[in-house]
Structure 1
């Protein structure tokens, strides 16, 4: 089975969002009466996850190795922060900031940045959407769906397997927040599960950590 790289996920992110975003067209009565197909299940999960991009929240995860990672989102303007062991990614409408340890670099806004959290034991909702886009294009993919409860929140889960797409398991809360994810990407095991969720974000969520150095390349 071919490997799915994080760069591939970044490339699929924008195209995948456009592709899966068209899944709701057609006769609603017929759609509600017909059994859910593979395409329906993949598109439904992708749409549910995409809804989370419009929320304000802080989600904490346990990742592989028992360590902790955090995803924060806020609106007006839209911005997000991904904090994981050894690094941090902050995305806004104007800049993208990457930190490794205490060293940070700011560049012009990169819409695909969150789909490729390089060497991080954390996967972003954008990267999962890219994987769902790949699965939607593969007629040999098989899917299994079930419901669960994670940290007291109802979540819908989808297992994707078979075909040439990468096998993975994903759960998404009713609100559209990534609740859990399991897969192997670039030989690295990604295994994360939501441990807490808040509809607020700390005031320093989108700031460079205190004491970190920042190299600004956003104007170059």
Structure 2
């Protein structure tokens, strides 16, 4: 994951709280900022972990988020596709008509907007990236008209902090529920993100990641859009 995007989002919430310290709602804003900082810090710190998290989707489908180190790489798999991010490329693989096509673009750099757009688009397929959840939490924290409730629970045997947000303006989701485990892994998420319904719950977690999870699907057609690369290879 492009972890560099997390810090600016958190700093916005903290700065707003300090700016409004003389207003009647200052306590409410600072509480929101504290909540976002806590959850963002967990997710940011989880960037040093190697793990595989499996999720249950509505209708019996499954999804997966995996991350590994040295080099840092991540993978997001859902029923009709897969998104992988390595130091070589961002690969967006999608199945249609019995064919899997993987589009390769340059690997993400800090504040890489194409990579962030790919993360958001995964929500159209029932899966959401932790970086997108951080953005939604920040939007809720900055919106003084939104309501945010916090609770604690256990998901797949792991303690988690949960947030229920409603009435969020100018965000990819106006209402959502999200749970983040104490080690910074996304435990669950429910909401409509950019028009796509996301409803996932962690079912299994392990502190390892098979290297095959970050490889392109076997037999996939590859469209290489990286600078200086060929355009199409594979079947």
**Shared fold (TM-score, shorter chain, > 0.5):** yes
State the TM-score, normalized to the length of structure 2. 0.77
> Comparing 153-162 with 168-177, which one deviates more in the overlay?
153-162
Secondary structure of the 1:93 match is coil
Task: Tell me the equivalent position of 1:124.
Answer: 129
Deviations 1:44-95 (A, max 9, x none): 2222222222211000001233200011101121110001011110112331
C-alpha separation between the residues in 1 aligned to 2:101 and 2:47?
27
What aligned pairs does 1:91-106 form with structure 2 within 5 A after superposition?
A: 91-101=85-95, 102-106=100-104
Aligned residues: 201
Contact 2:105–2:224 (CA under 8 A) maintained in structure 1: yes
Contact 2:52–2:206 (CA under 8 A) maintained in structure 1: yes
**Large movers: runs of 4+ above 4 Å:** 13-16, 21-25
**Structure 1 residue 133 corresponds to structure 2 residue 138:** yes
Task: Tell me the equivalent position of 1:62.
Answer: 56
**Structure 1 residue 179 corresponds to structure 2 residue 203:** no
Q: Indicate how the Cα distance of structure 1 residues 48 and 211 shifts in structure 2: closer, same or farther if over 3 A, else same.
A: same
Task: Tell me the equivalent position of 1:192.
Answer: 200
Q: Residue 161 of structure 1 is aligned with which of 166, 169, 173?
A: 166
C-alpha separation between the residues in 1 aligned to 2:146 and 2:66?
32
Radius of gyration: which is bigger? 2
Which one scores higher on RCO, CA 8 angstroms, separation ≥ 6? 1
Deviations 1:125-179 (A, max 9, x none): 0110111121222122221111111111111111112342521111011110000
**Structure 1 residue 85 corresponds to structure 2 residue 79:** yes
Q: Indicate how the Cα distance of structure 1 residues 88 and 44 shifts in structure 2: closer, same or farther if over 3 A, else same.
A: same
Task: Tell me the equivalent position of 2:106.
Answer: 108
C-alpha separation between the residues in 1 aligned to 2:107 and 2:140?
28
> Comparing 103-112 with 82-91, which one deviates more in the overlay?
103-112
Q: Indicate how the Cα distance of structure 1 residues 53 and 22 shifts in structure 2: closer, same or farther if over 3 A, else same.
A: farther
State the TM-score, normalized to the length of structure 1. 0.82
**Structure 1 residue 46 corresponds to structure 2 residue 40:** yes
Following superposition, the deviation at residue 119 of structure 1 comes to: 2.5
Q: Indicate how the Cα distance of structure 1 residues 192 and 81 shifts in structure 2: closer, same or farther if over 3 A, else same.
A: same
C-alpha separation between the residues in 2 aligned to 1:65 and 1:190?
12
Q: Could you say which structure has the higher helix fraction?
A: 2
Secondary structure of the 2:201 match is strand
